[in-house]
């Protein structure tokens, strides 16, 4: 598969650009190459005067099972932050925050697994619509570290956010709406039409007004400290990588990513222990 094929683009409605993560054989696990192509497509759409709304979706059975833990690490990162301790979570969070600052509203169309880094991609979106039976969670908190981008207390609130980070348990699409992660859920076979209907409504507003409207909401969140909070958690994630228990788990991952993930989830009876197991984090 070439770089170009990792991300597909089309224009399904007037002024609507759709970007499809096209790595279904890996449950759209986000390698550096995939994220590079995604950011290229997002920037192209944001710079296109004929585009008022961007929709992101995943090909195949899910949105994204997270970051690719078995990728070729020689692939260049999607964004430079720094080159010493903490460069990985910092470049991830800064990249997703960049999407917030685009003029063009971005809609996430989430189905199937939305795990770990997949939830961070969803958080970069301005609106999120999910399938009723989507599986949304952050399992790496069980054996690696806090999230790269700890969005849970901001979206779920203190108690449910704490529960999500302490257990790594998932919620369904319907539950995600109740918790504020998503705007609305649909039966899977109605999700695409539902998302495009919203995109068409958003696209009726002039692009310059859309940009200002989007910015006003993000500025309100900035005043409450969301950017500072998310960037601080990258330091927690970096410290997590130095813990003795995490160092032991890294040995298991070096021996085999699949077996390490299965071992992680066995005690919980979810994710990797189910038949349709995700391939990412």
Examine residue 281 and state whether it is found in any structural domain, yes or no: no
Examine residue 207 and state whether it is found in any structural domain, yes or no: yes
**CATH code at position 147:** 3.90.226.10
Domain total in the chain: 1
- Over residues 7-24, the pLDDT tens digits come to 999 999 999 999 999 999
Q: What is the three-state SS of 89-148?
A: HHHHHHHHHHHHCCCCCEEEEECCEEECHHHHHHHHCCEEEEECCCEEECHHHHCCCCCC
* pLDDT band, residue 256 (cuts 50/70/90): confident
- Over residues 105-135, the pLDDT tens digits come to 999 999 999 999 999 999 999 999 999 999 9
Examine residue 165 and state whether it is found in any structural domain, yes or no: yes
CB 152 within 8 A of CB 165: yes
pTM comes to 0.92
Instruction: State yes or no: pLDDT of 228 exceeds 70.
Output: yes
* Nearest to 231, CA basis, from 28, 114, 93: 93
Examine residue 279 and state whether it is found in any structural domain, yes or no: no
Which residues form the domain of 121? 3-273
Mean pLDDT, range 65-81, rounded to an integer: 82
């Amino acid at each position: 598969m070439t770089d170009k094929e990792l991300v597909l683009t089309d224009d399904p409605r007037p002024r609507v650009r759709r970007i499809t993560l096209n790595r279904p054989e890996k449950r759209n696990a986000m390698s550096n190459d995939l994220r590079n192509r995604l950011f290229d497509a997002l920037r192209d759409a944001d710079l296109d005067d004929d585009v008022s709304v961007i929709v992101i979706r995943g090909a195949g059975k899910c949105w994204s099972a997270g970051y690719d833990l078995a990728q070729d690490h020689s692939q260049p990162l999607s964004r430079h932050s720094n080159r010493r301790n903490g460069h990985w979570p910092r470049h991830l969070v800064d990249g997703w925050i960049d999407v917030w600052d685009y003029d063009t509203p971005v809609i996430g169309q989430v189905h199937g697994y939305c795990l770990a880094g997949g939830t961070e991609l969803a958080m970069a979106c301005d609106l999120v619509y999910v399938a009723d039976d989507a599986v949304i969670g952050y399992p790496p908190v069980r054996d690696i570290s806090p999230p790269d981008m700890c969005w849970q207390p901001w979206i779920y609130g203190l108690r449910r956010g704490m529960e999500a980070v302490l257990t790594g348990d998932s919620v369904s699409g319907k539950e995600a709406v109740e918790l504020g992660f998503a705007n609305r859920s649909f039966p899977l076979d109605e999700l695409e039409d539902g998302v495009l209907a919203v995109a068409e409504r958003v696209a009726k507003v002039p692009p310059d007004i859309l940009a200002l409207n989007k910015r006003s909401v993000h500025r309100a969140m900035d005043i409450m400290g969301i950017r500072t909070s998310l960037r601080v958690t990258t330091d927690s994630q970096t410290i997590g990588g130095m813990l003795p228990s995490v160092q032991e788990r890294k040995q298991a991952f070096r021996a085999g990513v699949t077996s390490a993930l299965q071992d992680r989830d066995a005690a919980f009876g979810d994710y990797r222990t189910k038949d349709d197991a995700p391939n990412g984090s």
